[in-house]
Structure formats: C-alpha cells, structure tokens
Structure 1
Amino acid sequence: MELSACLSFYRSRRFLRVHRSHIINLDHVVAVLRDRVAMRDDALLPIRRGRRRKCAGPGRTGALKS
C-alpha cells in the first residue's frame, strides 16, 4: 500500500500526520503547544505550523498557544 493510500485511510479514522515522522490519534491529544503536541502518555511530539489548528479541536484540555 502506498503512503498516500495509508494516510487517507487513517485520516478518516481521526488520525493526523503532524510531522514527517509522526501520525497521531487525535483522541489521545491532551494539549497543543506552539510547536509540540502533548499526548496522553506524556510524549511531546513536534508539529508543523499548518497542523496546529487541526489538532486543537473541541474537547482538548490544553489550549492552542501561538
């Protein structure tokens, strides 16, 4: 399966590619910081600028900080 096909499969299931190296489950995001995403397991992952707003949806305990 090609990468583009994999990404479209995951995109429909609440996953988002936030960086070249990371695809995350949006249900596990607890906070969106300026350049990082905080996950439930305390991991801090880098995030591209254009992806911040897609991660900071309703129900997040953290706030979007610019």
Structure 2
Amino acid sequence: MDPVERALPGYRGSALCRLGRTEGAETAARRAYRTERNRLWCKDNPNGTDAITAASKAADEARERTAR
C-alpha cells in the first residue's frame, strides 16, 4: 500500500470531524436531541441517565449523518 492510500482514512476522518462541527450538523444534532427528549418514555424521568444518554446518542448520530 502506498503512502497516499495509508493516509486516506486519516484525511477522511479529519474532514468528517470538521464537517460535523458545521452549523448544519449542529442544527441537526440539536433537533435530534430535542426530539428524543420529547419521547413519552423520556417525559417520566427527563433528567434520568437513560433519557440523556439516548438523546446524546441521537444527536451524535444526526451530526454524523449530516457530515457524511
């Protein structure tokens, strides 16, 4: 494998990381977080660990989808 092929995953990961911090990606993440927190099961215990973890995971996934 030549040096360019070895460097490609690093460059791609770096680009996705930068794209994940754009305004559009952050907007998508905030929307996904809010949506998850508004689910019925979250309303019983909105500050519980499970609710916050699920909302954070949804935000991270939305940010990554937008970056891609």
TM-score (norm 2): 0.29
Greater RCO (Cα-Cα under 8 Å, separation 6 or more): 2
- Would you tell me which structure has more helix in proportion to its own residues? 2
TM-score (norm 1): 0.30
